[in-house]
Structure 1
Amino acid sequence: MARYVMVIDSEKCMDCKACVVACQQRNHVPYGLSRNWVRETVSNGSPCGFKFQPGACMHCDDPSCVRACPTGATWKAKDGVVEIDRSRCIGCGSCVEACPYHARFRHPVTGTADKCDYCRGTTPGQTPACVAVCPMHCRLFGDADDPSSDVSKALAAHKAVHVVPLNSGAKPTLTYLDATTPEELPEAPVASHPVEAMRPLAKGVTWAGGLVLAALTGTFVRQLIKSSEKEDAEIAAARESSADDRRDKEDKA
């Protein structure tokens, strides 16, 4: 099984925003919103006093957004990508609030959660739009468990740096190389008590719905059996009546 990760060399970024625009176009992101970004960060060692930090969903191990979702609409796939099942998303915004990277938003048209999914589409592992268009090749994507991949080679040749907000316990897999200067991030948000209570409530509703469905199925099957038995009885009675009529005619003859 592949383990997909993104690696970013911030030193190469020139803030052209090609990655942002390409992501918006491929994934039909509404105007004014974005699945990825390029942020300006303070850097005393830089001649101009700042550097650029590209970013997106960190596709964390043990993601806080997954824990916050009351319906199980978001999960960590076996290949390392954090995904969203929009057919199960109720648009509560719990995952949006729980993400310490502010990498999620509620889609204004569908009302469901949205974020970077590495442009999975129908082909997991395809090159994301942001990687494909970067003129400086500061973004890399691939299977970290494949020694021949560009991602594995970059990780082997450089120091890995991760952005971890205070008190978040986040375990990001999106990795920066060497001298990147991560932006100051606030402490990890905490889901409200009503939202926390939604998870067991949602599970209870699911179980109740399952029981109701099972009961309805049982009733339907019983009705089918009873209808079949009634039909068989009526057919048998009709045959018996027909036989009696024949016997009466024979006796009269």
Structure 2
Amino acid sequence: MSGLEQTQTTQMQPRWGMVIDLAKCVGCDTCTVSCKAENRTPPGVSYNVLLELEDGKFPNVKRVNIPRPCMQCDKPPCVQVCPVRASYKAENGIVVIDYDRCIGCRYCISACPYGARSYDEGQSYEQEMLGYNDVQAPEYGKRRGPREKGKLPEGVVRKCTFCFHRLERGEEPACVETCIGDARYFGDLNDPNSMVSKLAASPRAFRLKEEQGTEPRVIYLR
């Protein structure tokens, strides 16, 4: 492949990003529930949580809902500390965990400043939901058999993937599709005409913990 072809291929590769409008988030937790349903995450593992913070000083105090998926950082600390290179940054901007390489040391959990990673301890909802163990989500586009004790992804670290498997089908992440307040936007940050690119350039836009230099791909609107 020539240098020009390589450049063209790189330009065609999307840089997936997400924008969340906090003014439109109603704190319903639909994103959390739909994410668990889509990714079939076990007890103790949630890729998408809703943080509730208080803003202002008494008596002028208001509650702010902050949905928190993985930030898919361009400079992810979790990748830097992984001793076996199980975590890496894909070309499309998604931070990937290779379950077959992960040794479950949990260094990445400590390194993530957003608390966006969880360790799969092997728990199950089988007693509460008949057939829960029969099917697993095809995370990162890889299909695995039924959830069984001692088999992957038990014993490894897990996190939001921007619903990688849905993106490969041309669909949006589950949390974006189900948001009842239409507070989430998803698209290609490489495309200047995309909604996410335009919103990311808004004066309302900010990123969590920008001072840490992680350069997150999840952008919030005040």
Please confirm whether the aligned pair reaches a TM-score higher than 0.5, indicating the same fold. yes
Q: Displacement, 1:139?
A: 1.0
The secondary structure found in structure 1 opposite 2:186 is: strand
Mapped partners of 2:167, 2:25: distance in 1 = 27
Count residues in correspondence: 177
Q: Displacement, 1:161?
A: 0.2
Q: Displacement, 1:126?
A: 3.2
Is 1:154 matched with 2:199? yes
Mapped partners of 1:98, 1:32: distance in 2 = 19
1:120–1:126 Cα contact (<8 Å) kept: no
Q: TM-score, normalised by structure 2?
A: 0.74
Name the structure, 1 or 2, with higher relative contact order (CA <8 Å, separation 6+).
Answer: 2
Is 1:108 matched with 2:121? yes
User: Given residue 180 of structure 2, which amino acid in structure 1 is its aligned partner?
Assistant: P
Equivalent position of 1:164 in the other structure: 209
Equivalent position of 1:91 in the other structure: 104
Q: Deviations over 1:26-48 (max 9, x none)?
A: 11111343111111111228976
Equivalent position of 2:45 in the other structure: 33
Structure 2: 5+ residue runs without aligned partners? 1-12, 123-153
Q: 1:143 aligns with which of 188, 194, 201?
A: 188
Q: Deviations over 1:92-131 (max 9, x none)?
A: 1111111111100111221111000101026446311110
Is 1:20 matched with 2:32? yes
* Residues 237-252 of structure 1: pairs in structure 2 closer than 5 A: none
Q: Displacement, 1:148?
A: 3.2
Mapped partners of 2:176, 2:101: distance in 1 = 29
Q: Deviations over 1:186-224 (max 9, x none)?
A: xxxxxxxxxxxxxxxxxxxxxxxxxxxxxxxxxxxxxxx
Q: Deviations over 1:115-165 (max 9, x none)?
A: 001010264463111100001111111101123322123224443201117
Mapped partners of 2:155, 2:100: distance in 1 = 11
Mapped partners of 1:31, 1:118: distance in 2 = 20
Structure 1: 5+ residue runs without aligned partners? 180-253
User: Given residue 160 of structure 2, which amino acid in structure 1 is its aligned partner?
Assistant: C
Mapped partners of 2:43, 2:180: distance in 1 = 23
Equivalent position of 1:51 in the other structure: 64
Q: Rg larger in 1 or in 2? A: 1
Structure richer in strand, relative to its length: 2
Mapped partners of 1:97, 1:137: distance in 2 = 32
Mapped partners of 1:72, 1:128: distance in 2 = 26
Equivalent position of 2:173 in the other structure: 128
Identity %: 41
Mapped partners of 1:51, 1:62: distance in 2 = 27
Equivalent position of 2:76 in the other structure: 63
Equivalent position of 2:10 in the other structure: none
User: Given residue 198 of structure 2, which amino acid in structure 1 is its aligned partner?
Assistant: K
Equivalent position of 1:79 in the other structure: 92
Q: TM-score, normalised by structure 1?
A: 0.65
The secondary structure found in structure 1 opposite 2:165 is: coil
Structure richer in helix, relative to its length: 1
Mapped partners of 1:123, 1:155: distance in 2 = 20
